[in-house]
Amino acid sequence: MHINRLIIVQWTSFVFLAIYVLLNFYLISYDTHEFYQWFGKAICLPDNCFCEKIHINQIAQPINSFTNIFYVYVGIIILFRLKKWDLFTIIYAYIVILLGLGSFFYHATMTFFGMWLDVFSMYMYILFLIFYLIYYADILDQKKGILFYMILLFVSGIFLYQSPLFRRILFGFYVILTLFVFYRIKNKIFINPKNFYIALAIFIISYAIWLLDYYRILCNPESWIQEHGIWHTLDSLVIYYLYLFFWELRISKNSNSKELT
């Protein structure tokens, strides 16, 4: 039963890959203004949507859109590494895949809904990490952790819709909160946290590159190499190394639980 369910989950991930590919083909040619009517205009328009040139009636930012394939790819890799049913890993992988699809839709359409979906999936991811760290440290049990996670995610989604200008400030706060929680519980971590530090180092580099793109310090709108696309690529590595860290945490927690029983 578990093996059959696992196989279904693993191969379902290819559905998301297929959706990504189909969106690429569908958005090669579309009515930009019609999309704006459906989903609203991104608040970064007309000239504050990162460095890459924005195209009309086609994929708005091709490089920034296509590089999101790495998130989808990492999510699929994580699922196919599974040898037995593990809900944490499955949820983690699907959040990562959603992150790739949301970011793709944002950069491909430059719509308000695309922006909301992109950032909301980032909130989903970072809050998932925070609450798992809290759960690992036995500060909250699983049911309470899930409840608080859903409540905070819902509130964050509303905040994002009502105050989109502050979306990055809230995400930055969640990143700092993740580091704070990690620091507070590091004495309870019985594994080598090297993968966490590797992820943090890569993230610092990728964020520096994000800043170079956002403030147009390094900017060639027509180039095939876009710093924001590099940010996507490096962050997919961040996500993978964090998965390795949390997977080891999960194994250690399960081992300790068995020893206590």
CB 95 within 8 A of CB 101: no
User: What percentage of the chain exceeds 90 in pLDDT?
Assistant: 72
State residue 3's pLDDT score.
57
Domain ranges of the chain: 2-260
State residue 260's pLDDT score.
36
The pLDDT tens digits of the residues spanning 238-261 come to 999 999 999 999 888 776 655 433
Checking if the pLDDT of 223 tops 90, the result is yes
Tell me yes or no: is domain 2-260 CATH 3.40.50: no
pTM: 0.93
Checking if the pLDDT of 58 tops 90, the result is yes
How confident is residue 44, by pLDDT bands cut at 50, 70 and 90?
very high
- Return the amino acid letter for 2: H
Distance CA 154, CA 123 (A): 10
The pLDDT tens digits of the residues spanning 13-26 come to 888 888 888 888 88
State residue 86's pLDDT score.
87
As a whole number, the mean pLDDT across the chain is 92
State residue 259's pLDDT score.
43
The pLDDT tens digits of the residues spanning 130-162 come to 999 999 988 888 889 999 999 999 999 999 999
CB 118 within 8 A of CB 106: yes
Q: Which two tokens stand for residue 154?
A: 């819902």
Q: Does 257 or 27 have the greater pLDDT score?
A: 27
- Report the DSSP beta bridge partners of residue 41: 111
Ranking 2-6, 99-103, 153-157 by mean pLDDT, the lowest is 2-6
Closest CA to 64 of 239, 209, 241: 209
